[in-house]
Amino acid sequence: MRILIVTDAWAPQVNGVVRTLQATRDALQQMGHVVGLIAPDLFRSLPCPTYPEIRLALAGAAAIGRRIEAFAPEAIHIATEGPLGLAARRWCLRRGHPFTTAYHTQFPDYLARRTRLPAAAFWPFIRRFHRPAAAILVSTRAVAVQLDRQGLGQTRLWSRGVDLSCFGPDAPVHPRLQRLPGPILLHVGRLAVEKNVEAFLRARHAGSKIVVGDGPLLAALKCKYPDVAFLGARQGAELASLYASADALVFPSRTDTFGLGMIEALACGTPIAAFPVPGPADVLDESVGAMREDLDDAIAAALTRDRAACAAFGRRFSWSASAGQFVSALVPLKAGADFRPGLAATA
């Protein structure tokens, strides 16, 4: 199948949405599908207010339409609610082409934290964007319930996976963590207000705190918490080494829809400490982590979990299974759709 993905989130951004889409593209190609991509690197762009690392593409429906026509897709997936997603949505609706969308991010909650407006103020946009979609892909059943309450009932489950060739319990000890006093408490993720990182940094549990990730709060947090080791963004084998070297991954977010880092850490044998909120509650059970309203209690409990059980739990998640869910949710365009033959939008 010729599958076109339109996304406002792509490299060089480093976040869960980008990593999910990259892994999905790779898995789809391994299954024999031809995947085209329309992403911000194809257009002029501007930095996103409050998120300069994220570029907002300057492209209208006509420009997007030309690239869609050139790829001649058999199915269209609009991954994000940004400028490219809006332009692709508009083009598809004008021509009567079906498409799927995905709800990756709790934008109403994120925007509420940044603007101090109520989350309810942003739900009309979310409802309007996703309502015409033939299916809305969601990472957990809790998100499906949430969208159903907003009148968006056409959800399909699309879980996440782990690259088991990279993330596993046999990863070597990371040299930065070798001589630190234990327990080693690790956080991995973007350093932004909605990730609630300071809940981890304020935790009183003894040990060494390690933060992996980049984002708009990095400089301020480094100044405020000089005893914490901030390592910046890490990927691949080095990230696996950090996961495997830690005694617990602390996941303080209250707004994530899934939390890809949790299952990567588990695959490396590292238990999770988190709040009892959607995301962690949908992914974890008490055999591999601890979810408590008191994060110090969660850390203490997580440190008692069996690492072999954590690794076995993490191995349940595969990108091939995730890609299979993605394909099953797609809605093929009508036979004979009027596309000009051409080359893929991008490899």
- What are 136-175's pLDDT values in tens digits? 999 999 999 999 999 999 999 999 999 999 999 999 999 9
CA atoms within 13 A of residue 19's CA, in its CB half-sphere = 17
Render the burial of 86-101: b for 16+ CB within 10 Å, e for the rest.
bbbbebbeeeebbbbb
Closest to 110 (Cα-Cα) out of 47, 202, 196, 219 = 196
User: Rounded CA gap, 288 and 303, in Å?
Assistant: 10
For residue 280, say if its preceding peptide bond is cis, omega within 30 degrees of 0.
no
Domains in the chain and their CATH numbers?
2-161+320-329 (3.40.50.2000), 175-317 (3.40.50.2000)
For 128, the token pair is 């309007």
182-229 per-position pLDDT tens digit: 999 999 999 999 899 999 999 999 999 999 999 999 999 999 999 999
Reported as a pLDDT band with limits 50, 70 and 90, residue 342 is: very low
Contact 86, 129 (CB under 8 A): yes
For the CA atoms of 22, 125, 84, 347, what is the dihedral angle to 10 degrees? 20
Reported as a pLDDT band with limits 50, 70 and 90, residue 232 is: very high
Question: Does the structure show a pLDDT above 60 at 347?
Answer: no
Given this model, what pLDDT does residue 15 score? 87
Lowest mean per-residue pLDDT among 27-31, 94-98, 333-337: 333-337
48-59 per-position pLDDT tens digit: 766 666 677 788
- Across the chain, mean pLDDT equals 92
Given this model, what pLDDT does residue 116 score? 81
For 325, the token pair is 């869910």
